[in-house]
Structure 1
Amino acid sequence: MLTKKQHELLCFIAERLGEDGISPSFEEMKEALDLKSKSGVHRLIEALVERGFIRRLPNRARALEVLKMPERVDAKRGKAAKRGDVAPLSPPSATQRMPEPANDVIEIPLHGRIAAGVPIEAMEGSQMLPVPAALLGSGEHYALEVSGDSMVEAGILDGDYALIRKTESARDGEIVVALIDGHDATLKYFRREGAMVRLDPANRSYDPQRYRPDQVQVQGRLSGLLRRY
């Protein structure tokens, strides 16, 4: 039997995966469940993993897969499922994009370096980066080499390749590529703070950056990471 918070988190993850194929960040999960810290989110996820409701996908940033959902009450037939009963997820429809086989490789544009510290210029380039297709979801992607250490607490290290899904919009708590004043780009958590846009690092040694909305252009959301050893 799931606790109320476990059930709420499972439904939230499933809803977000159904919307865009990307699992929510720990910060988004914390806010959605009105928890005081991310450690509470970690405990809930561990419990859901142990009970077989979700699993982590290896080598992907914040990648979770929902394996099953609590069985719902069938109101039309008047049959209520027992608490704790579970049902497998329905097979995906033909219109849903399924992950590519892990051994398939796709080449995506590699557009220079991006700061995970203070903004630096993100250079356009003609290089291509081979990426396992399983690391990419739907949509158009490009890659940027990470420079700096301000996102280390999110598991993003200097020299990593950030795999970015192109988009011009973002939800609070998502990690985005933000173009500042039309020429400097940075990788940060995106937040709205009153009339301002706040870009948060994931390193306590760095301070948040605040800009007017007209100064910030979202150029993509983090989809995955590629690390070479």
Structure 2
Amino acid sequence: MLTKKQHELLSFIQVRLEDSGISPSFEEMKEALDLKSKSGVHRLISALEERGFIRRLPNRARALEVIREPDTASPRSAARAATPVSVLVPKSAPIALPRIEAPRPANDVIEVPLHGRIAAGMPIEAMEGHAMLPVPAALLGPGEHYALEVSGDSMVEAGILDGDFALIRRTDVARDGEIVVALVRGEEATLKYLRREKGGVRLDPANAAYEPQFYAAGEVQVQGKLAGLLRRYH
């Protein structure tokens, strides 16, 4: 069952697609639902996607398709928007109607909280902040995200460089071998590969110049998993 805001957003997207064939932008969705930020729109989009009401079209940033109706939750034909109008013609004079493709949905970005710097070497404090970082929506999947600026070079062999922005999906669980934000002893945060062994936790770097870090299981708390990277070129 959808919440009121989820239902309103799904209806708004559906009407816009039927009228113009173009997905509304995050700014338009934010204004239509009277939300305070685009991050609220992102959470609603992720919830609708997880429930099977919409899907993101591959290889196109912020291209949405409604696949279930907001009121009946019945499957929606994927070809509905592109179905040509029926025309009655004599059998002796058949004609072929050209297929008219709908315009591609507009690209969009979303803003995620930027929570300061995080170490890719020895742990340093990951500071809370109030800045927002614009991120191409195609880089993010379902869930709530935040960003951290990488400090250090211990993850260079994983392609994570000093000054990169790590896009983190917020979660407190992770599998062995995943790159996580690990809060150590409730004070310091670091970006590392997570390994569990002998009742403890090992945080592995991706740089042969650094040694793994070993902790008791209760000393490490997962605060998110790496979802993507942004890099600025100067």
Counterpart of 2:117 in structure 1: which amino acid? R
Counterpart of 2:56 in structure 1: which amino acid? M
Q: Distance in 2 between matches of 1:97 and 1:116?
A: 34
Structure 2 partner of 1:145: 149
Q: Distance in 1 between matches of 2:127 and 2:51?
A: 39
Equivalent of residue 205 in structure 1, options 209, 218, 229:
209
Write out aligned runs for 1:91-106 (5 A): 94-95=52-53, 97-98=55-56, 101=61, 103-106=107-110
- 1:97–1:138 CA contact under 8 A, matched in 2: no
Q: Residue 128 in 1 paired to residue 88 in 2?
A: no
Q: Distance in 1 between matches of 2:140 and 2:207?
A: 26
TM-score (norm 1): 0.58
C-alpha RMSD of the superposition: 1.7
Q: Distance in 2 between matches of 1:185 and 1:196?
A: 17
Equivalent of residue 177 in structure 2, options 173, 178, 198:
173
Q: Distance in 1 between matches of 2:53 and 2:222?
A: 28
- 1:161–1:227 CA contact under 8 A, matched in 2: yes
For structure 1, the 5+ residue unaligned runs are 1-91
For structure 2, the 5+ residue unaligned runs are 1-49, 63-106
Structure 2 partner of 1:186: 190
The change in CA–CA distance for 1:222 and 1:97 in structure 2 (over 3 A counts) is farther
Q: Which runs of 4+ in 1 moved over 4 A?
A: none
Q: Distance in 2 between matches of 1:97 and 1:182?
A: 38
- State the number of aligned residues: 138
Q: Residue 226 in 1 paired to residue 213 in 2?
A: no
Once the two structures are TM-superposed, the CA of residue 94 in structure 1 deviates from its matched residue by: 3.3
Q: Distance in 2 between matches of 1:179 and 1:171?
A: 16
- 1:114–1:145 CA contact under 8 A, matched in 2: yes
Once the two structures are TM-superposed, the CA of residue 98 in structure 1 deviates from its matched residue by: 2.4
How high is the sequence identity, in percent, across the aligned residues?
73
- 1:113–1:146 CA contact under 8 A, matched in 2: yes
Structure 1 partner of 2:40: none
The change in CA–CA distance for 1:195 and 1:128 in structure 2 (over 3 A counts) is same
Q: Distance in 1 between matches of 2:208 and 2:218?
A: 27
Q: Distance in 2 between matches of 1:94 and 1:135?
A: 20
The change in CA–CA distance for 1:179 and 1:96 in structure 2 (over 3 A counts) is farther
SS of aligned partner of 1:157: coil
| 1:118-153 deviation line (CA, Å, top 9, x unaligned) | 000000000000000000010000000000000000
Q: Distance in 2 between matches of 1:93 and 1:145?
A: 32
SS of aligned partner of 1:117: coil
The change in CA–CA distance for 1:96 and 1:221 in structure 2 (over 3 A counts) is farther
TM-score (norm 2): 0.57
Equivalent of residue 156 in structure 1, options 144, 156, 160:
160
